[in-house]
């Protein structure tokens, strides 16, 4: 388990670095390795910077089309049959061509940096619509209620005259209601009601024992740590490590760049080589990186001595280096990866990002295949998730805040009905 955890950390580090990589559009000459300006005879490749530029254009106004498919392959037996499963899902899931039971979700609409109007469907059933306008977000609660009732198979009628809820105010109201039902010593409640029809006045606050909202001191401590981390590692060293990871990813066919898209792939064909190479980078640089961070904390004026002692107490660079080398021992990690690869079957993670001047696309294809594992107590042998999104630059029509927003009395009526 320790080595699997280490493997996950190694892959997370690599993926995090890849998410921020990208070079200017250049082509290496095969003969002398020099940078050349792109010619009409050579294929240019997309960079992450180009994707960022397209996203910036889209934020000013675009039409979006999002499709999400979640599919499962249950393990049926004498106590849990396929008929039992179908009765539970009530028609929301249907079997696809791969023998998995699938539920499709779609979101379509318009969005910009200030307004949005999105319609949500599940299995072609209308679920709800969301409107963002005048710095507030609204959900069509009536439509969501009707969808929920139809799925639950009960006969209830929407009890309110209005249709929409102010999402933020509704969440605050719900938290306040839950807080009133809990022991007083767990909550610090300070709620001021508005006479203007809104759920809360501007200066209202609900603090759930520090769980829902961080206090200012904690927020500042987090910001201080981030500032120290940003300055602890020299940029040249960080860039060198990132370049190593990018080269490893490309040589193991984890990442590939094309004219109109960038692809990322992890599966049984490349995960071992990729993980072993990244582990090598961690073994070489890990202790030095941690030491730089620790020294930066000790020398920082953003923390008092007590906090510095708490964060660095017991730190020893040689011990850290020894722990990294033991945990990421190449021979042992190779054995762990062999076992891991033999058990993941057809599991994979595929991500494709595309963009041009007027459109951006994203495809995320995930399959978790447990059929090859020798021992499994899971009720699901396969889980597949496919996320497709297309966003095209387009003028956004006028979007106004809904007029029919639920009052506090109507929300109370709704809660009472559902209870």
CA distance 286 to 319: 12
Signed CA dihedral, 213, 219, 221, 226: sign only: positive
pLDDT at 248: 95
CA distance 329 to 282: 11
Count of structural domains within the chain: 1
Q: Which is nearest to 262 in space by CA: 361, 348, 357, 366? A: 361
Signed CA dihedral, 260, 265, 269, 272: sign only: positive
pLDDT at 15: 47
pLDDT at 372: 58
Query: Domain range for residue 279?
Result: 2-418
CA distance 257 to 259: 7
Tokens 């009890």 locate to: 159
Local structure of 223: helix, strand or coil: helix
For the entire predicted model, the pTM comes to 0.71
Chain-centroid distance of CA 39 in Å reads 38
pLDDT at 48: 66
pLDDT by residue, tens only, the chain of 419 residues = 444 444 444 444 454 555 445 444 443 344 444 444 444 444 466 666 777 778 788 888 899 999 999 998 888 888 888 888 887 776 778 888 888 899 999 999 999 888 999 999 998 889 999 999 998 999 999 999 999 888 776 788 999 999 999 998 888 888 887 777 665 544 444 444 444 444 433 333 333 333 344 567 777 888 888 888 888 889 899 899 999 999 999 999 999 988 888 999 999 999 999 999 999 999 999 999 999 999 998 988 888 888 888 888 889 999 999 999 999 999 999 999 999 999 898 999 999 998 888 889 999 999 998 765 555 566 788 899 999 999 999 999 999 999 999 998 998 888 888 76
pLDDT at 58: 83
Chain-centroid distance of CA 389 in Å reads 14
Burial class (CB within 10 angstroms; exposed 0-12, middle 13-18, buried 19+) of 168: middle
For the record, the structure tokens of 360 come out as 């951006």
Q: How far apart are the first and last CA of the chain?
A: 43
């Amino acid at each position: 388990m320790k080595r699997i955890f280490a493997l996950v950390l190694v892959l997370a580090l690599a993926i995090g670095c890849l998410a921020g990589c990208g070079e200017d559009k250049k082509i290496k000459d095969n003969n002398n390795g020099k940078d050349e300006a792109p010619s009409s005879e050579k294929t240019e490749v997309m960079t992450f910077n180009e994707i960022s530029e397209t996203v910036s254009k889209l934020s000013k106004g675009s039409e979006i089309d999002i499709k999400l498919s979640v599919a499962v392959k249950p393990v049926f037996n004498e106590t849990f049959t396929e008929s039992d499963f179908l009765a539970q899902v009530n028609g929301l899931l249907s079997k696809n061509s791969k023998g998995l039971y699938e539920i499709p979700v779609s979101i379509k609409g318009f969005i910009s940096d200030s307004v949005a109007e999105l319609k949500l469907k599940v299995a072609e059933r209308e679920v709800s619509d969301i409107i963002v306008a005048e710095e507030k977000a609204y959900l069509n609660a009536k439509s969501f209620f009707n969808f929920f009732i139809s799925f639950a198979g009960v006969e209830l009628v929407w009890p309110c005259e209005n249709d929409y809820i102010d999402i933020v105010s509704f969440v605050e109201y719900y938290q306040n209601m839950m807080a009133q039902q809990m022991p007083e010593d767990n909550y610090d409640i300070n709620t001021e009601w508005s006479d203007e029809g809104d759920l809360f006045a501007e200066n209202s606050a609900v603090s759930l024992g520090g769980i829902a909202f961080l206090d200012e001191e904690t927020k500042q401590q987090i910001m201080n740590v981030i500032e120290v981390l940003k300055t602890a590692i020299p940029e040249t060293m960080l860039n060198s490590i990132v370049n190593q990871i990018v080269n490893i990813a490309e040589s193991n066919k984890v990442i590939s760049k094309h004219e109109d898209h960038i692809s990322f792939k992890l599966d049984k064909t490349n995960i071992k080589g990729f993980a072993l190479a990244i582990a090598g980078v961690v073994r070489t640089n890990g202790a030095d990186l941690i030491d730089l961070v620790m020294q930066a904390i000790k020398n920082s004026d953003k923390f008092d001595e007590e906090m510095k002692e708490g964060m660095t107490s017991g730190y020893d660079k040689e011990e850290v280096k020894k722990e990294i080398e033991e945990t990421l021992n190449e021979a042992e990690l190779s054995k762990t990866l062999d076992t891991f690869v033999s058990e993941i079957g057809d599991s994979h993670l595929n991500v494709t990002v595309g963009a041009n001047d007027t459109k951006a696309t994203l495809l995320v294809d995930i399959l978790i295949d447990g059929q090859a594992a020798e021992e499994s107590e899971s009720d699901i042998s396969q889980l597949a998730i496919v996320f497709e999104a297309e966003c095209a630059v387009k003028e956004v029509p006028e979007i106004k805040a809904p007029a029919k927003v639920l009052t506090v009395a109507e929300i109370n009526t709704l809660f009472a009905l559902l209870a």
